Structure 1
Amino acid sequence: MDYKFSHVGIPTTDDKNWDGFYEPLRIHYTEFDKDEYNIEWVMFEKDSTMHPLVQNLPHTAYYVDDMEAALEGKNIIVETFSPGEGVRVAFIEHNGAPIEFMEIKQ
């Protein structure tokens, strides 16, 4: 499996200049591709159903070509979902830390 670095996501309770809000999981976010260091800031509403590891620890995200292959045999903590057209995301737990996989199909 080839993993290509995408970004680091950092949870915060500080108000930022949010780029968007993902309603299904109740997450405010900044766009990591606008940041010179590829940092995504995320803030979770109190009623967010996102896994506690993702809400409380920074995560590293990687682009993958095949989501199913990337997830095979892994400890999945957030099942695959689509936050936008052509994008699929899932989270695994690796040695106590959340890791995000992103599959982009254009």
Structure 2
Amino acid sequence: MKFNHIGIPTTGSFEGEIPVPHLKITCSDHKNNPYGIQWMRYWDDAPYPELVKTVAHIAFEVDDLEKAIAGQTVLIAPNSPSTGVLVAMIEVNGAPVELMQIDRELRPDA
């Protein structure tokens, strides 16, 4: 696994807001700082578990998402938020963890 970012939920506005309507979130760019900090505001009708909407998550890149989530408590099933990126959210010791499989040929920028 390789660290990608930390997502911190908030209910307030923040600098550099990026609305993502198909995910019903507003986020910041985790690449605009050397530590991968990403602010996340979930819209009122965002269909995610409360744990995901209220507790910070850490995201790791994995080579094989299906293998990485096998036997885990899955909070959000594998889905593709953008071209070349497949993600899932699991629960580990009461905290959400995002696992990401990135096709670097399709997404060298991710």
Could you tell me which residue of structure 1 aligns to residue 96 of structure 2? 98
Q: 2:39 aligns with which of 35, 38, 41?
A: 41
In structure 2, give the amino acid aligned to 1:11. P
Query: For residues 92 and 18 of structure 1, what CA distance do their matches in structure 2 show?
Result: 27
Matches within 5 A, 1:1-106: 3-105=1-103, 106=105
Task: Give the secondary-structure state (helix, strand or coil) at the position aligned to 1:14.
Answer: coil
The separation in 1 between residues aligned to 2:19 and 2:81, in whole angstroms, is 10
Point out 4+ residue stretches in structure 1 off by more than 4 angstroms. none
Matched length:
104
Q: Does the 8 Å contact 2:23/2:81 carry over to 1?
A: no
RMSD: 1.2
Amino acid paired to 1:42: M
Structure 2 counterpart of 1:6, which letter? Answer: N
**Percent pairwise identity:** 38
Q: How far 1:51 moved relative to its partner?
A: 1.6
Secondary structure of the corresponding residue to residue 44 of structure 2: coil
Any stretches of 5+ residues in structure 2 without a counterpart? 106-110
Deviation, structure 1 residue 18: 3.9
With normalisation by structure 1, the TM-score equals: 0.91
For the Cα contact (< 8 Å) 1:22–1:83, is it kept in 2? no
Q: Which amino acid aligns with 2:14?
A: K
